[in-house]
C-alpha cells in the first residue's frame, strides 16, 4: 500500500534521513531533495501531497523555491516550513506557507502536522 507522498527538502543529510525514516515507518511515500533546485526537479518527477521545506539552504533557498514552485504550480501542494529560524512562524508567514515546525521538534508533532496537512489535502 502507498500512503500520501511527502517531499522533504533539507540540506542536512542526517535530519533529512531522520524525517524520511520516521515518515516512511508511518507509511508515507517519501521523496527528498537537498536544496530548492533539486526540489523543483523532484516536483517535476511527481507532485507530492505535502512539501516539508527547510528555509536556509545552499544553491536555492526555501523562499526562492516557493516563488518558482508557485509560478508553475500555484498551490498544488501545501508547504510546511521546517526551520531553525528564531521565529519559525514569521518565516512561514513570509512565504505564505500552510504551516511550520521549529527545529528541534518532537516526532509526535512532526507526524501530527504531516497527517493534518495530507489529510486536509485528501479531503479537497
Partner 1 sequence: MEPLDPAQENHADGSEAPVHGAAEYGSAGRILGAVRFAAESFLTSQTMSERIDEVLAELGAAADVSRVYVFENELAADGDLVTCQRFEWAAPGIPPQIDNPVMQRMSYERSGLEMWARELSQGRIYESRVGQYTQSERDFALPQKTQSYLLVPLMVEGSWWGFIGFDECTSPRRWEKPVRDALQAAGSILSAAIQGWNARREKERLLERQRTFTEAAWRRAAEWEAVLASIVDGVWVVDTDMQVTFANEGARRIFGARRIEDLLRPWSEYVIFAEIFDAAEKPVGVEEMPPLRALQGQATTDIGTQIVLRSTGERKYLGLSAAPIRDSTGEIVGAVAVATDRTQQVEFGRLKDQFIRVAAHELKTPVAIMKGYAQLALRVGDQTSPSQRERLRAIDRGSDRIDRIIQDLLSVSQVYAEGFALHFKPADLRELTVAAIGSLSKEAPDREILLDAPAAAPVLVDVDRIGYVLRSLLDNAVRYSPAGGPIAVTIDVKTDEGSAGTGGPGTVTVSIADQGIGISPTKQRHLFEPFFRAHTDTPYDYGGMGVGLFTSREIVRQHGGTIWFESSEGEGSTFHFRLPLGDVDERAQGLDRG
CA atoms within 13 A on the CB side of 85: 19
44 vs 93 by CB, closer to partner 1: 93
Among 47, 73, 103, 119, binds partner 1 (CB under 8 A): 103
Among 86, 122, 123, 124, binds partner 1 (CB under 8 A): 86
Based on the shown chain and the rule CB under 8 A, indicate whether residue 47 belongs to the binding site for partner 1: no
List the grid coordinates of 57: 539552504
List the grid coordinates of 49: 501531497
Among 61, 76, 85, 120, binds partner 1 (CB under 8 A): 85
For binding to partner 1 (CB under 8 A), which residues are involved? 12, 14-15, 18-19, 21-22, 25, 56, 84-87, 89-90, 93, 102-108
Amino acid at each position: 500500500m502507498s500512503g500520501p507522498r511527502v517531499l522533504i527538502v533539507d540540506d542536512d543529510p542526517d535530519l533529512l534521513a531522520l524525517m524520511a525514516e520516521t515518515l516512511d515507518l508511518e507509511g508515507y511515500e517519501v521523496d527528498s531533495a537537498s536544496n530548492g533546485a533539486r526540489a523543483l526537479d523532484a516536483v517535476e518527477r511527481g507532485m507530492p501531497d505535502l512539501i516539508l521545506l527547510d528555509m536556509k539552504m545552499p544553491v536555492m533557498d526555501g523562499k526562492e523555491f516557493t516563488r518558482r514552485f508557485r509560478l508553475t504550480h500555484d498551490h498544488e501542494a501545501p508547504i510546511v516550513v521546517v526551520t531553525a529560524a528564531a521565529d519559525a512562524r514569521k518565516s512561514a508567514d513570509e512565504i505564505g506557507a500552510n504551516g511550520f515546525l521549529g527545529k528541534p521538534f518532537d516526532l509526535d508533532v512532526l507526524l501530527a502536522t504531516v497527517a493534518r496537512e495530507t489529510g486536509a489535502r485528501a479531503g479537497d
